[in-house]
Amino acid sequence: MKLRTGLLLTTAFVAGITAAPVSGILARQFGLQIFPSAFAQDGSRADTYRLLNLFSDVFERVRAEYVEPVVDKDLVENAINGMLTGLDPHSSYMNAKSFQDMQVQTSGQFGGLGLEVTADSGFIKVISPIDDTPAARAGMKAGDLILALDGQTVQGLSLNEAVDKMRGPANSKIKLTIKREGVEKPMDVSMNREVIKIQVVKSHLEAPDIGYIRITSFSEQTDAGVRKAFADLKAKSGDKLRGIVLDLRNNPGGLLDQAIAVSDDFIKDGEIVSTRARHPEDSQRWNAHDGDLTDGLPMVVLMNSGSASASEIVGGALQDHRRAIIMGTRSFGKGSVQTVIPLPGSGGAMRLTTARYYTPSGRSIQGLGIEPDIEVAASRTEVPHYGPDHEADYGKAITNKGGAPTGSLPPRTDLPPIAKDIPKLPPENQVAFDPTKPETDFQLQQALLVVRAMPISKRASK
């Protein structure tokens, strides 16, 4: 049987937790269906049986002659995981423990470090530290490569195994050896594990009349958090908000229904996103309901290469509807849908790529990402990169297929005049970014300038 989910919007795992974007993707959203058996598409049934016999021969030879005794269950699970990970970067196998952890994550609190990570060339790459967690306080940064855990190399470990080692009881200590861009030698970072309570939406007034909303991931609480944040901002401003900055930077994704709901908060009507599967009858489309939470207030969305999947659905919908101006740098470019399929008898499940998603204009952002309307870099410092920064950098990424041609979206004619004066790079004397000091955030400061220059709609000014 298979369990159709929302988008499994990233390969990220929360260190000490489980896969961040897969909480809440159980049968409450989709019914169970029979998973049909299949045979090789490019050969006869006999060819398939010969290949299965080949697998059986290798299995028996390993059992009989490997240098040490092996466990049959481990061999089979490794084979399944190899079959799935060989397809694309986002298909994989979850053993019983990983699958259980995925479901437990819906409770909203977990033991660990607060790191969102992915596999990268045999090491573990940090996508982003979660705000107000041991990892964030220890100074972990997006792009850090984790080389070792408590002195033991992560090479040879699967992503699940590495994440498992980063989990542990609260107050227990762990040392991570990392390689950071621009730093010549590996460095050790020690921290104590904690119970992670993820606050996925944060907000504050950046000025007396401009609200700032940051979404760190799309979990079950995201849409409710956005609505509460806007209500709080409106009250704190004395009902005098003139614009919103929505920060999706380093947001690796999450649940499809939450991406749709957040988009719906700001779009009056029309399509939000559609998915196209191998079989046309499995394709779907979602539309906005009447109404805009903000009554059309000017809006800027900040994105970067760490903005993936659910973030790209929101950014793409707001961009296509000309509801918001996208600022920052090109997003990650993950435009695929994953289905979690429980495997009876094993207690585990497989995560299988089953569709692509498309923005309202028909664009597939798979491998391309969302291009900003106004490009603004966070730093002018060029440093060497370790591993892929975008979906297209992965060798086995699925192709961009079936969408509107690249460049088919008409040029924007609604940008305020100040847009042409926004610099792409910070000045050479720009103060180093400090997350506790918004004034050092160059991209945010440029977004505030643009919001102020955007006209307030008649509806929003009522």
Cα–Cα distances (Å) from 407 to 372, 376, 401, in that order, read 13, 20, 15
Interval 354-379 mean pLDDT: 93
397, two tokens? 């990424």
Q: CB of 111 within 8 A of CB of 195?
A: yes
Residue 414 domain-assigned (yes or no): yes
Of 56-60, 67-71, 287-291, 428-432, the poorest mean pLDDT is in: 428-432
- CB atoms closer than 10 angstroms to residue 19: 27
pLDDT at 207 over 70: yes
**Structural domain count of the chain:** 3
Domain boundary among the residues 197, 218, 234 is at 197
Rounded to whole angstroms, the Cα distance separating 331 from 312 reads 7
Q: Which CATH number goes with the domain that contains 169? A: 2.30.42.10
* Annotation marks residue 47 as catalytic: no
Please report whether residue 186 resides in a domain.
yes
Contact between residue 154 and residue 123 where contact means Cβ atoms under 8 Å apart: yes
Name, of 26-30, 97-101, 443-447, the range with top average pLDDT. Answer: 443-447
Whether residue 161 is found in the same domain as residue 247: no
**pLDDT tens, residue by residue, 25-44:** 222 332 233 333 444 455 57
Both 157 and 244 in one domain: the answer is no
**According to the model, what pLDDT value does residue 388 have?**
60
Q: Which amino acid is at 432?
A: A
**Mean confidence (pLDDT) of the chain:** 84
Q: Which is nearest to 215 in space by CA: 207, 205, 225, 230? A: 225
Q: Which is more confident, 387 or 357?
A: 357
319 and 436 in a single domain? The answer is: yes
In a domain, 348, yes or no: no
150 and 242 in one domain? no
Residue 120 CB coordination number (10 Å): 19
Domain assignment of residue 460, yes or no: no
Q: Say whether both 50 and 179 belong to one domain.
A: no
Instruction: Examine the domain organization and report whether 268 and 392 are in the same domain.
Output: yes
422 pLDDT exceeds 80? yes
Instruction: Please give the backbone phi and psi of residue 137, each rounded to the nearest 5 degrees, phi first.
Output: -70, -25
| Domain annotation covers residue 461 | no
CB 364 within 8 A of CB 356: yes
Question: Which residue shows structure tokens 């990402």?
Answer: 369
Give the Cα separation of 175 and 151 in Å (integer): 7
37 flagged as catalytic: no
pLDDT in tens, 219-276: 888 999 999 999 999 999 999 999 999 999 989 888 889 999 999 999 999 999 999 9
Contacts of residue 137, Cβ cutoff 8 Å, sequence gap at least 6: 191
The answer to which of 95-104, 325-334, 336-345, 362-371 has the lowest mean pLDDT is 95-104
Domain endpoint, select from 102, 133, 148: 102
Q: Are 275 and 259 in contact (CB under 8 A)?
A: no
Does the pTM surpass 0.85? The reply is no
Are 150 and 69 part of one and the same domain?
A: no
Collapse the DSSP code of 327 into the 3-class scheme (helix H, G, I; strand E, B; otherwise coil) and give the result.
Answer: strand
Query: How close are the terminal C-alpha atoms of the chain, in Å?
Result: 52
Taking residue 31's Cβ as centre, other Cβ atoms within 10 Å add up to 9
Tell me: do 19 and 61 sit in the same domain.
yes
Judge if 64 and 85 occupy the same domain.
yes
* 237 plus 329 within the same structural domain: yes
344 within some domain: no
Q: Assess if residue 307 is contained within a domain.
A: yes
Residue range(s) defining the domain that contains residue 117: 109-197
CATH code of the domain containing 267? 3.90.226.10
From 92, 223, 334, 373, active-site residue: 334
Q: Lowest-pLDDT range, 163-167, 416-420, 454-458?
A: 454-458
Considering the candidates 98, 307, 309, 331, report the single residue annotated as catalytic: 309
Asked whether residue 186 falls in the same domain as residue 205, the answer is no
Considering the domain architecture, whether residues 80 and 228 belong to the same structural domain is answered as: no
Q: Kindly tell me if the per-residue pLDDT of 459 is higher than 90.
A: no
Q: Is residue 333 part of a domain?
A: yes
Identify whether 334 is a catalytic site residue. Answer: yes
Tokens of 354: 């089953």
Per DSSP bridges, beta strands 325-328 and 299-303 are: parallel
Overall average pLDDT of the 2-15 stretch? 40
- Active-site residue identified among 265, 320, 373, 441: 320
Domain end position, chosen among 177, 197, 217: 197
What is the rounded CA–CA span in Å between residue 215 and residue 229?
A: 10
